[in-house]
């Protein structure tokens, strides 16, 4: 019999603030974290807005030498993992180190490090390319650095599946625990894509918003005037444990992760399968894994990127899952507030889902002003709403047709 998996700790570095408390306060206030881009020169770029992490200093979380040798996405992961482990009260000792592992993913990895190194190579020659470029930028280094800093000797790897990365990481970490290969896992995602090449590339593919004159309202999932997502950065990590392990050490149990579903569209590099059929299969699989029915779902934390095609496909998938209940089940997109964290989106949205359950509050989809006839569900427009939530779905869908759904439930002893 597989073991129950619970969430005992959470950490987040987000555009809404440097910890989980700040993240939730921003959700409660329905505040936008999108503004003009400051992390790189953007005057000549088509999109000059982003959701940046405010006031982040990596030296508060790691020593200067390690910070200098690692990319910004690694800094975010280290900070978020530290908060998550502290909140879980998880202390690593010689006795338990081999039973605690790490799965922290990134969709892109050290894009800033790579871009700076190419510039140095072209301008000043190969001698100006530093010896730490590769370990600074490769996507697995967030997981690797967290493992080294905390002596986590259990399973340790990286997931990279575009915008589904962090949800895959959490789901796979939970499966490791269910199989008995570890007692606890530190899992999530981290991303730092706000660079000139990152913005230019996404803008060239027509994926991101160019609402430069009104950044706070640029991310508008499910609105008829939406025209792309807003690029964001940050990291989010959860601590997962088997129920027995958590109870045995008196850990705080925040919620239970009861289901994990995944699928592939097998259709297109950026567009979802028409009708949202791939997303629907992921949600159905997650419910089957949890032993639940669609009637058990109280809330859906949507992928909701604010792209014209994606939001319609997800709406259609939700209708396919819920049937006649679809208009009555609240759905919301956190990306309306803090943009799209790409490889970290799934973990930060899972954390918001846990907080929504614990605080009995539905997060809002802000900037939803003009109804889209093809997006006709209850998206909790503009203002959070009190509501008891016992069981929720958190969706993450990525370029390449990667689909993940997590089922998170109020913990019942």
The residues annotated as belonging to the active site are: 163, 303, 340
Residue 293: other Cβ atoms inside 10 A: 9
**How many whole angstroms separate alpha carbon 358 and alpha carbon 203?**
38
Provide the 8-state DSSP code for 388. Answer: -
**How many whole angstroms separate alpha carbon 263 and alpha carbon 403?**
5
Which parts of 291-399 fold into alpha helices (H)? 308-322, 335-338, 345-359
Is the distance from CB of 262 to CB of 279 less than 8 angstroms? no
Q: What is the CA radius of gyration of the chain?
A: 20
**How many whole angstroms separate alpha carbon 85 and alpha carbon 350?**
16
- Cβ neighbourhood burial of 156 (10 Å; 0-12, 13-18, 19+): buried
Is the distance from CB of 20 to CB of 351 less than 8 angstroms? yes
C-alpha distances (whole Å) from 159 to each of 86, 104, 377 are 24, 7, 32
């Amino acid at each position: 019999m597989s073991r129950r998996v619970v969430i005992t700790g959470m950490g987040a570095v987000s555009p809404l603030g440097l910890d989980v408390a700040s993240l939730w306060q921003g959700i409660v206030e329905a505040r936008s974290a999108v503004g003009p881009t400051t992390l790189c020169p953007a005057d000549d770029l088509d999109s000059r807005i982003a959701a940046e992490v405010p006031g982040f200093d990596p030296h508060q979380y790691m020593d200067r030498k390690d910070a200098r040798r690692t990319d910004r996405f690694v800094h975010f992961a280290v900070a978020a993992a530290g908060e998550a482990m502290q909140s879980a009260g998880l202390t690593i000792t010689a006795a338990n180190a081999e039973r605690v592992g790490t799965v922290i993913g990134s969709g892109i990895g050290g894009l800033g490090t790579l871009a700076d190194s190419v510039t140095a190579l072209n301008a000043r020659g190969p001698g100006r390319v530093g010896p730490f470029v590769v370990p600074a930028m490769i996507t697995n280094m967030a997981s690797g650095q967290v493992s080294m800093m905390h002596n986590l000797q259990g399973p340790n790897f990286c997931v990279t599946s575009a915008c589904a990365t962090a949800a895959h990481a959490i789901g796979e970490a939970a499966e490791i625990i269910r199989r008995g290969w570890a007692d606890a896992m530190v899992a999530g995602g981290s991303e730092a894509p706000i660079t000139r090449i990152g913005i230019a590339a996404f803008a060239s593919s027509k994926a991101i918003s160019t609402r430069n004159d009104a950044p706070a309202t640029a991310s508008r999932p499910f609105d008829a005037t939406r025209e792309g997502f807003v690029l964001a950065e940050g990291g989010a990590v959860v601590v997962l444990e088997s129920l027995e392990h958590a109870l045995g050490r008196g850990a705080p149990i925040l919620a239970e992760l009861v289901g994990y579903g995944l699928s592939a569209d097998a259709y297109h590099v950026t567009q979802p399968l028409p009708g949202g059929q791939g997303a629907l299969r992921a949600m159905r699989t997650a419910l089957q894994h949890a032993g639940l029915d669609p009637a058990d779902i109280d809330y859906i934390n949507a992928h909701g990127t604010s792209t014209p095609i994606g939001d319609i496909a997800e709406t259609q998938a939700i209708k396919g899952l819920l049937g006649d209940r679809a208009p009555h089940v609240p759905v919301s997109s956190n990306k309306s507030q803090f943009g799209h964290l790409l490889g970290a989106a799934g973990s930060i949205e899972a954390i918001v889902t846990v907080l929504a359950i614990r605080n009995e509050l539905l997060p809002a989809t802000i900037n939803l002003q003009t109804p889209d006839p093809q997006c006709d569900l209850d998206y909790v427009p503009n203002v959070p709403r009190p509501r008891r939530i016992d069981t929720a779905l958190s969706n993450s869908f990525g370029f390449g047709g990667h689909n993940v759904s997590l089922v998170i439930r109020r913990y019942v002893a």
